[in-house]
């Protein structure tokens, strides 16, 4: 499986948010813990809506959570 062309700071942001669990973030965003884990690991690309919801949970702009990796 090819790596997605972007990375994210979700794990770091969860840690900085009183060590929020993947399950807690998933509940707040409306997805499963497994989905959050897959997004964190770069195995799954979230929908734009989910990406914005994740950023909103942390009070960050989308660009502070997800980073496009240009070739």
Query: Which sequence spans correspond to the domains of the chain?
Result: 6-60
| pTM over cut 0.85 | yes
Q: Give the mean pLDDT of the chain.
A: 93
Residue pLDDT, tens place only, 33-47: 999 999 999 999 999
**Number of other residues whose CB lies within 10 A of the CB of residue 67:** 12
CATH class of domain segment(s) 6-60: mainly alpha
The pLDDT of 15-26, averaged and rounded, is 97
Residue 50: partners with Cβ closer than 8 Å, 6 or more residues away: 29, 30, 31, 35, 39
């Amino acid at each position: 499986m090819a790596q997605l062309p972007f990375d994210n700071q979700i794990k770091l942001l969860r840690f900085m948010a009183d060590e929020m669990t993947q399950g807690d973030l998933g509940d707040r965003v409306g997805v499963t813990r497994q989905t959050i884990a897959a997004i964190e690991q770069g195995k799954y690309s979230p929908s734009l809506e989910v990406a914005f919801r994740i950023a909103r949970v942390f009070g960050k702009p989308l660009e502070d959570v997800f980073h496009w990796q240009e070739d």
